[in-house]
Amino acid sequence: VTKPFLPLMRAHRFGAPAPTGPTPFAHPRFAVALSGLVQVQADARTVLAQGAAGAGGLAGDPGDGRVIATTGLDRIIAFDASAGRLRAQAGMSLLDAQGFLAERGHFLPVCPPWGPTTLGGAVAVDAHAANHEANGTFGAFVRALRLHRSDRPAVVIGPTQDPDLFAATIGGLGLTGVIEWVEVETRPIRSSMMDWEATPFRDAAEFLNLMAEGADWVHRRAWFDPRMPGRGRFERFRHAQDGPREARAPQPLIRLGQPVSRGLTNGALAGLVTGLMQRRGAGARMRDYASVFFPFEDSVEGLAHLFGKRGALTYQCVLPPKAAGAEQITAFLNEVKRLVDGPTMVGAVAFGTRVSPALLSFPKEGLCLTVRTRAGARAAEGFARLDGLVLEAGGKINPAADARASAVLCQAALPLWREAAAWRDPSISSALALLMEAP
């Protein structure tokens, strides 16, 4: 029932250190294997579910434990078009789920911009996207899920079925059990094409003006130039009223099959991905959903390879509204410029006032800024400087995305950790859990 980890998965790894040990991975193809796998092993090692390994932070790092890779569990179980409910196995990617749904005139209500993200991973991190102001997080649309735990038979939970365990599981960073399948409420669409607009901006004040207008555009985000603080491009998009309803795939310009050596990815290529994402020009037009929702794969296939053998480090934070003015944003971007030492992506989305039902959900009202850059001392030092700015502003970091944050930063970001920890599965652990619970 198990087989070795697939090389394809490594291509998607984003910075989380590889687990060690003689047989670190289980990669089941059939859900029946899960209950047996979610047990402390004979050698007393704990386990942790893994999706596409995209989160890249402490939450996806099994520490001394073993990984249960879930991408082999990638099948559709049921789709009820009248209710708009999709039930699919947790290892199905968002790209595949969106393709299935698009042909049937539906769409996932929240879709982070990285196609390999699995449904289980999107639930476990309570994923957000460019439409947070309008729709909130992924977990708010989950109607049921099946959870495998070591201390009881598999259980189906939802907002009204075992709601406390459910609230600890959505956004629960994998610690309450292994999710076998997810039932999610989808949105009807008339077309899988998107009305899309892109506008360049020259400084943080212009960026803020663009973010403030056009609230009827459901999806709104910006990409900053990592080397020119304040410069960037604002994008907004929504489903078109006319056009085909069909599955589409991103069309990358570059395909990377193995890690690019450090010499080839020096600071001169800092803005490569941002530049490739901008090749579609500015202005307004219709685009297919895959190129808009999955801009990274639409630029580079095997994006993680671009960051070299050591992978990428991610920094994600939210600044509260009163501390997200032009001055603070510019200060943040100046620090980003200092840390650039290779390909670097800097994105921004606004978080609205919707409160997630998930106990450990990251989003809260404000401006979410994300930096992805090559792992190394320069990034770590730069991230430490960003910590100072974020804490001073009353913001917080996202421990799910962060592979180097301290216990103090993680505790500040996860105030309901203790409540959620009451639902921990004793067989499951992660580097984040070890850090949070260290004496």
Residues that bind ligand FAD (CB under 6 A): 14, 48-55, 59-60, 70, 90, 112-114, 117-118, 120-122, 124-125, 127-129, 173-174, 178-179, 296, 430
Angle (nearest 5°) at CA 205 between 279 and 342: 45
Tokens of 212: 């403030």
- For residues 191 and 304, which CB has a smaller minimum distance to ligand FAD in the complex? 304
Q: Min. distance of Cβ 370 from ligand FAD in angstroms?
A: 7
Q: Min. distance of Cβ 244 from ligand FAD in angstroms?
A: 26
Tokens of 422: 């009451």
Q: Which residues of 345-368 are buried (b: 16+ CB within 10 A; e: fewer)?
A: bbbbbbbbeeebbbbbbbbbbbbb
Q: In sequence order, which residues have a C-beta less than 8 Å from that of residue 152 and are 6 or more positions away?
A: none
- Separation in Å, CA 413 to CA 108, 210, 359, 394: 27, 28, 12, 11
- For residues 59 and 210, which CB has a smaller minimum distance to ligand FAD in the complex? 59
Q: Min. distance of Cβ 432 from ligand FAD in angstroms?
A: 8
- For residues 90 and 204, which CB has a smaller minimum distance to ligand FAD in the complex? 90
Q: Min. distance of Cβ 305 from ligand FAD in angstroms?
A: 12
- For residues 144 and 286, which CB has a smaller minimum distance to ligand FAD in the complex? 144
Q: Min. distance of Cβ 102 from ligand FAD in angstroms?
A: 19
Q: Which residues of 73-94 are buried (b: 16+ CB within 10 A; e: fewer)?
A: bbeeeebeeeebbbbbbbbbbb
Q: Min. distance of Cβ 53 from ligand FAD in angstroms?
A: 4
- For residues 191 and 379, which CB has a smaller minimum distance to ligand FAD in the complex? 379
- For residues 191 and 375, which CB has a smaller minimum distance to ligand FAD in the complex? 375
Q: Min. distance of Cβ 293 from ligand FAD in angstroms?
A: 11
SS3 135: helix
- For residues 55 and 420, which CB has a smaller minimum distance to ligand FAD in the complex? 55
- Separation in Å, CA 289 to CA 40, 87, 190, 252, 303: 42, 22, 12, 14, 19
Q: Min. distance of Cβ 210 from ligand FAD in angstroms?
A: 18
CA–CA distance, 428 with 49 (Å, rounded to integer) = 9
Tokens of 419: 């409540």
CA–CA distance, 200 with 123 (Å, rounded to integer) = 33
Q: Min. distance of Cβ 273 from ligand FAD in angstroms?
A: 9
Q: Min. distance of Cβ 127 from ligand FAD in angstroms?
A: 3
Task: Supply the DSSP symbol for 73.
Answer: -
- For residues 147 and 386, which CB has a smaller minimum distance to ligand FAD in the complex? 147
Closest CA to 241 of 275, 190, 198: 190
Helix, strand, coil shares, percent, the chain, to 5: 30, 25, 45
CA–CA distance, 151 with 305 (Å, rounded to integer) = 39
- For residues 127 and 336, which CB has a smaller minimum distance to ligand FAD in the complex? 127
Judging by beta carbons within 10 Å of its beta carbon (0-12, 13-18, 19+), is residue 124 exposed, middle or buried? buried
CA–CA distance, 397 with 390 (Å, rounded to integer) = 8
- For residues 65 and 229, which CB has a smaller minimum distance to ligand FAD in the complex? 65
CA–CA distance, 380 with 313 (Å, rounded to integer) = 8
